[in-house]
Structure 1
Amino acid sequence: MAAAEWRAARLVPRRAAVSRAQVETVSGRALGVFGLVFGGQTVPTAIDQSAALAEGAGTAVMAVLYGSLAALAVATFARVAVRAAAATFAVLFAIVLMAWPYLVVAPAAIAGQTPWLYYLVTVATTAAVIAVPPMPAAAYTVVIPVVYGVIRSTPAGGGAQPFLAVLDAMYAMILGIVALVIITMLRQAAEAVDAAQDAALQRYDLVARQHANEIERVKVDALVHDSVLTTLLSAAAARTPAERALAARMAGDAVRRLDEAAAEVPGNEDRIGLDVLVRRLRSAVAGFSAPIDVRPTGLAGVELPVEAVDALSSAAVQAMVNSVQHADEPGHGTERSVQIRGAGANGCVIRVVDDGRGFDADAVPMSRIGLRVSIEERMANAGGSATVQSTPGRGTVVTLAWPAGVEGSGS
């Protein structure tokens, strides 16, 4: 590809692909909105039916379920602890549903009515889909409607005819299964897109590096031909003091141009989101024998050059390898985590932490490639920094930052 074509291709705007993170965000916020809507619709019925429950039970049930619904909505829009909030609501709903027959002390007050919990069954099953893997979510989606159907046919559930109870249970189960299938399919499709995007980025990065290296080779060849060889030929042919002085000046100019060329580092200016870095690290963590907790925060809107993402990813993986190989102590379970934090719109800080045996960082010989080259020099060459804090018996913290100096940023 010609240089002009290459530059033109890089100017074409890239359309953001649907990622797993976006699917989770949209699904969670939809659950939060519909949960509030369905919950609000049940308030009048819940107030009316509270008279049939034990004293104070109606108020307590409404406080628990409506409070957890509100917390779920806040969590989905703040994108904080969404799965925990969804799991909490799903568990609380299941507890209230199973306790319902014991809470109703005046079944005649709700005879012929539908318990207000029915209108939240689909919200609960969808919350389970958001919170847990497909198989447990599928079990919850089947069990909860069945439990409701059984309760619906009892006096505490309104004493519905068996056919009507089964119909209500099947309707709730079908809605739950539809939500399960849609969300699961979207997740799988987004994961495939994420994997394809990662592979494409890696291939593009390789091509970009090859192109940059080719440009650099051509530039160096031209420099050697135009400056170095010409200088050598002039020096060899110099006979008079003036010719020698000219050759000396040409040699000085050639050395200066070589120094300038050495200072120019070819790189890839394309930028990618931190979610790609998080996926790479999660994939790497899955291959370790020891559990490592990946904790991303503040990723929204942060983009880094491909070269910086490569350096951060490789250095973090090497730090994890060092921890797995050297941090464990006999009789002590080592806890490890990788904390990934966006710093502003163009920075990132990664902390690889363990509470293992630790070591004296100053005593590590310069020949140790894993620490000196694979971590510190790799980050320095990419324009970042790496610091190692470790004390024997008190664990290790490896801090990777790009660009250098951003590790102190609180943003």
Structure 2
Amino acid sequence: MPAADWRMARFAPHRTAVSSAQVETVVARAVGIFGLVFAAQTVPVALEQSEALAVGAGTTLMALLYGGVVALAVASIGKVAVTGTAAAFAVLYAAALAAWPLLVDDPAALGGPPWLYYLANVATSAAAIAFPLAASVAYTVLVPAWYGVLRATAPGGQADTLLATLDALYAMILGFVVLIIITMLRQASRAVDGAQDAALRRYDVAARQHANEIERVRIDALVHDSVLTTLLSAAAAETPEEQRLAARMARDAVRRLDEAGASGPRTVESVGLTVLVRRIRAALTTFAAPFTVRVVNAAGVELTVEAIEAVYSATVQAMVNSLQHADEAGRTTRRELRVRGVGTGGVVVEVADNGRGFALQDVPNERLGLRVSIEERMAGAGGTAVVTSWPGEGTTVTIAWPAGVDGATT
């Protein structure tokens, strides 16, 4: 690639691909917002029908379901406990629908279908968010079907069989439409995630090869312009002054070679922190022991490809070290992985366990997993790795990029 084209490629604006995390956020927020709209529309009917229910039942039911809708909207907007909140609302709605016949004291006072019907698709959408596909399909079938049965009874408004069946089918069809859309979006986003990961790996290899080629040309020029000149001058030096000049030239050439080796090639393309989180989660699925994962402030953070690779490799090595050395007979070891975005271009990863621990000064130099795979890997990429451990008190490996972010030190 010509130099001008390479510079343009390196500094072209980066466009973040749609990820699974973004799809889940959009879907959850859509369900939360539309849930609020549907819930608001049912308030007048719910107030009217509360007189037909047992004393206090109408108020309790409204508080629980409307509170669940609000909680779902807040969780989806704040991106906190979305799956748990959606699952809780889906279960709560199914329980309310099942208990409805027991709560109705005066069926004649209902004046129409139960107001719960208008929240049926909010519940099936919440189930699609929270449950696996098979469970979501079962929920989308069973909940509307139960409503159809309920609708034909006195507590459900005593509708004729055809109307009850049509109501149930309508709710079921809408539920399946939402479920299909969510499933297709998830499948498409997973395909994008896989393609992005593959492209990232290919880009990293190509970028490193190109950077190494540029570095080779630079070193060749340095050797030609500095080292060879120094050698020729030294070979031709006859007087003490000429020999001293050759020695100074040699020291300068060595210094320039050291500086060139220390700088090394760098890649500047950036990717989202969510890519790193996704790769770490994928690595966790291959481990025999579980890690509790906590991710904070990952959205909007971007790191260079080199940083992603370094932090990923160091994190996996730290987890492997924990699996190999932390367990102690007769004691359960708890392991945590905490990923925290810092600003718009920094990250701190902590791999912690409460295992046997060790004394850092007792680690032999030949143990490369700690020194080379973690500490030197991060230092070479411009980051830091700090290991904190003590016998019997567990171990914490804090990996930070760039160096100095969040006060991390080597």
Q: Same fold (TM over 0.5)?
A: yes
Whether the 8 Å contact between 2:16 and 2:272 is mirrored in structure 1 is no
For residues 71 and 189 of structure 2, the distance between their equivalents in structure 1, rounded to whole angstroms, comes to 27
- What residue in structure 2 maps to residue 395 of structure 1? 394
For residues 135 and 14 of structure 1, the distance between their equivalents in structure 2, rounded to whole angstroms, comes to 38
One-letter amino acid of the counterpart of residue 218, structure 1: V
TM superposition shift of 1:199:
0.9
For residues 190 and 316 of structure 1, the distance between their equivalents in structure 2, rounded to whole angstroms, comes to 25
For residues 249 and 387 of structure 2, the distance between their equivalents in structure 1, rounded to whole angstroms, comes to 46
For residues 333 and 178 of structure 1, the distance between their equivalents in structure 2, rounded to whole angstroms, comes to 46
- What residue in structure 2 maps to residue 270 of structure 1? 269
Report which stretch shifted further, 187-196 or 362-371.
362-371
Whether the 8 Å contact between 2:52 and 2:109 is mirrored in structure 1 is yes
Task: Give the alignment of 1:78-93 within 5 angstroms.
Answer: 78-93=78-93
Per-residue Cα deviation, 1:307-342 (whole angstroms, up to 9, x for no partner): 111111101000111111122233433222211001
Whether the 8 Å contact between 2:89 and 2:123 is mirrored in structure 1 is yes
- What residue in structure 2 maps to residue 302 of structure 1? 301
For residues 387 and 165 of structure 2, the distance between their equivalents in structure 1, rounded to whole angstroms, comes to 63
Whether the 8 Å contact between 2:10 and 2:268 is mirrored in structure 1 is no
Per-residue Cα deviation, 1:281-326 (whole angstroms, up to 9, x for no partner): 0110011111222221101211111111111110100011111112
For residues 262 and 291 of structure 2, the distance between their equivalents in structure 1, rounded to whole angstroms, comes to 39
- What residue in structure 1 maps to residue 62 of structure 2? 62
Change in 2 beyond 3 A, CA 1:355/1:260: closer
- What residue in structure 1 maps to residue 75 of structure 2? 75
One-letter amino acid of the counterpart of residue 164, structure 2: A
For residues 244 and 329 of structure 1, the distance between their equivalents in structure 2, rounded to whole angstroms, comes to 64
Report which stretch shifted further, 76-85 or 51-60.
76-85
Secondary structure, aligned partner of 2:17: coil
For residues 146 and 331 of structure 2, the distance between their equivalents in structure 1, rounded to whole angstroms, comes to 44
TM-score (norm 1): 0.96
Secondary structure, aligned partner of 1:304: strand
For residues 317 and 139 of structure 1, the distance between their equivalents in structure 2, rounded to whole angstroms, comes to 38
Change in 2 beyond 3 A, CA 1:201/1:359: same
For residues 317 and 3 of structure 2, the distance between their equivalents in structure 1, rounded to whole angstroms, comes to 35
Task: Give the alignment of 1:299-378 within 5 angstroms.
Answer: 299-378=298-377
Secondary structure, aligned partner of 2:13: coil
For residues 77 and 353 of structure 1, the distance between their equivalents in structure 2, rounded to whole angstroms, comes to 30
TM superposition shift of 1:164:
1.1
TM superposition shift of 1:207:
0.9
Whether the 8 Å contact between 2:14 and 2:270 is mirrored in structure 1 is no
- What residue in structure 2 maps to residue 222 of structure 1? 221
Secondary structure, aligned partner of 1:90: helix
Per-residue Cα deviation, 1:202-233 (whole angstroms, up to 9, x for no partner): 11111111111111111111211222122112
Identity, in percent, stands at: 64
Per-residue Cα deviation, 1:184-210 (whole angstroms, up to 9, x for no partner): 110010011011011111111111111
Task: Give the alignment of 1:25-174 within 5 angstroms.
Answer: 25-110=25-110, 113-174=112-173
- What residue in structure 2 maps to residue 237 of structure 1? 236
For residues 102 and 171 of structure 2, the distance between their equivalents in structure 1, rounded to whole angstroms, comes to 23
Structural RMSD (CA):
1.5
Whether the 8 Å contact between 2:140 and 2:175 is mirrored in structure 1 is yes
- What residue in structure 2 maps to residue 260 of structure 1? 259
TM superposition shift of 1:238:
2.1
TM-score (norm 2): 0.96
Report which stretch shifted further, 224-233 or 316-325.
224-233
TM superposition shift of 1:242:
4.2
Secondary structure, aligned partner of 2:165: helix
For residues 223 and 407 of structure 2, the distance between their equivalents in structure 1, rounded to whole angstroms, comes to 43
For residues 325 and 248 of structure 2, the distance between their equivalents in structure 1, rounded to whole angstroms, comes to 55
Unaligned runs of 5+ in 1: none
For residues 326 and 264 of structure 1, the distance between their equivalents in structure 2, rounded to whole angstroms, comes to 35
Per-residue Cα deviation, 1:337-381 (whole angstroms, up to 9, x for no partner): 211001111211101122222222332122211111111111122
- What residue in structure 2 maps to residue 20 of structure 1? 20
For residues 288 and 251 of structure 2, the distance between their equivalents in structure 1, rounded to whole angstroms, comes to 57
Secondary structure, aligned partner of 2:382: coil
One-letter amino acid of the counterpart of residue 272, structure 1: V
Per-residue Cα deviation, 1:145-198 (whole angstroms, up to 9, x for no partner): 111111111100001111111111111111111111110110010011011011
Secondary structure, aligned partner of 2:155: helix
One-letter amino acid of the counterpart of residue 377, structure 1: E
One-letter amino acid of the counterpart of residue 149, structure 2: V
TM superposition shift of 1:243:
3.3
Secondary structure, aligned partner of 2:364: coil
One-letter amino acid of the counterpart of residue 204, structure 1: Y
One-letter amino acid of the counterpart of residue 25, structure 1: T
One-letter amino acid of the counterpart of residue 281, structure 2: R
Whether the 8 Å contact between 2:16 and 2:271 is mirrored in structure 1 is no
Secondary structure, aligned partner of 2:397: strand
Whether the 8 Å contact between 2:86 and 2:127 is mirrored in structure 1 is yes
